[in-house]
Amino acid sequence: MPVYIYHCEECDACFEVTHTISACGMTWPCPVCGSDDTHRVPQPHFVNWGGLAPSQGRLASRWCNLVDESNRQRRVDKYREEKARRSEWQ
Mean pLDDT for the chain?
Answer: 77
Look at residue 66 and tell me whether its pLDDT is greater than 80: no
Q: Are residues 84 and 59 in the same domain?
A: yes
| Domain count across the chain | 2
Could you read off the pLDDT of 5-17 as tens digits, one per residue? Answer: 899 999 989 999 9
Is residue 46 a part of any domain in this protein?
Answer: no
Q: Which of 22-26, 46-50, 79-83 has the lowest mean pLDDT?
A: 46-50
Structural domain span for residue 66: 54-89
Is residue 78 a part of any domain in this protein?
Answer: yes
Is residue 84 a part of any domain in this protein?
Answer: yes
Could you read off the pLDDT of 28-55 as tens digits, one per residue? Answer: 899 999 999 998 888 766 665 655 555 4
Is residue 19 a part of any domain in this protein?
Answer: yes
pTM for the full predicted model? 0.48
Span between the terminal Cα atoms of the chain, in Å: 66
Rg of the chain taking only CA atoms, in angstroms: 25
- The number of beta carbons lying within 10 Å of the beta carbon of residue 8 is 21
Is residue 49 a part of any domain in this protein?
Answer: no
